[in-house]
Amino acid sequence: MIIRDAEPGDETRWRQLWAGYNAYQEAVVPDAVTAATWKRVLDPAVPMFIRMAVLDRKVAGFALCVLHEGSWVAGPICYLEDLFVDPAARRRGIARALLEDLMALGKSRGWSRLYWHADGGNENARKLYDSFVPADKFVRYRLSLG
Ligand SMILES: CC(C)(COP(=O)(O)OP(=O)(O)OC[C@H]1O[C@@H](n2cnc3c(N)ncnc32)[C@H](O)[C@@H]1OP(=O)(O)O)[C@@H](O)C(=O)NCCC(=O)NCCS
């Protein structure tokens, strides 16, 4: 398995996986937003990026992250916003490898922290996450502004 940054040629395949992820999340992301997300991911001036997992020369999963500042730490914080593995390639360690890749990347680049949210009822994902670190006590408040 190879894990690497997204490249312009990944767009079609990423959009397939993104559609699967949105269906799983029961989310409707307008096409203009998806297009803007892809554009931002490829723009080195925007602190949003995707790590692609390539298995048998096919992109089989991705982790989309945003780097941001934090008041409690000096180095950047990495927010893992979206994690998805092609259903045909699951249980082969791809999600675990994507998380380990982010940890290694963060250590080499001086990030202070990696964090993510989980659906409390997503037992499969939580089993994976719990093997890295226990969940903390915080809950999420989310106010739509537009
Ligand atoms: C959750 C998801 C990312 C896991 O991807 P994956 O590549 O299959 O995961 P891995 O093979 O790295 O599995 C790692 C561990 O997760 C747990 N796990 C993952 N899928 C599981 C399943 N179907 N049943 C039971 N445990 C599971 C296991 O503990 C597994 O370790 P093991 O194989 O040594 O037992 C994938 O199922 C997915 O994309 N789901 C839909 C999107 C999603 O839920 N994203 C996360 C949002 S919070």
Assess if residue 138 is contained within a domain. Answer: no
Does ligand 1 have an atom closer than 6 angstroms to the CB of 125? yes
Distance, CA of 54 to CA of 72 (rounded, Å) = 35
Provide the CA 60 distance to its chain's centre, in angstroms: 13
Is 140 part of any domain? no
User: What pLDDT sits at residue 64?
Assistant: 99
Task: Provide the CATH number for the domain around residue 40.
Answer: 3.40.630.30
Q: For a pocket test of ligand 1, which of 90, 103, 122, 140 has the largest count of ligand atoms closer than 8 A to its C-beta?
A: 90
pLDDT in tens, 87-110: 999 999 999 999 999 999 999 999
User: Is 145 part of any domain?
Assistant: no
89 C-alpha to ligand 1 centroid (Å): 10
Return d(Cα 16, Cα 26) in angstroms, integer. Answer: 15
Q: Is residue 146 part of a domain?
A: no
Strand pairing category for 77-85 and 58-68:
antiparallel
Structure confidence by residue, pLDDT tens digits, 62-87: 999 999 999 999 999 999 999 999 99
The count of domains in the chain is 1
Q: Residue 115 — pLDDT band, cuts 50, 70, 90?
A: very high
* 108 Cα: distance to centroid of ligand 1 (angstroms): 26
| Structure tokens that stand for 4 in this block | 């690497």
For residue 146, what pLDDT is reported? Answer: 83
- pTM, two decimal places: 0.98
Domain that includes residue 16, residue range: 2-130
What's the 132 CA to ligand 1 centre distance in angstroms? 13
Q: How far is the CA of 72 from the centre of ligand 1 (A)?
A: 31
Which one, of 94, 108, 16, 115, lies nearest residue 51 by Cα?
A: 94
- Which pLDDT belongs to residue 141? 97
Joined together, the tokens standing for residue 109 give 């680049």
In a domain, 104, yes or no: yes
109 falls within a domain: yes
Rounded CA gap, 125 and 25, in Å? 13
Q: Among the residues of the chain, which ranges form H helices?
A: 11-25, 31-42, 94-109, 123-130
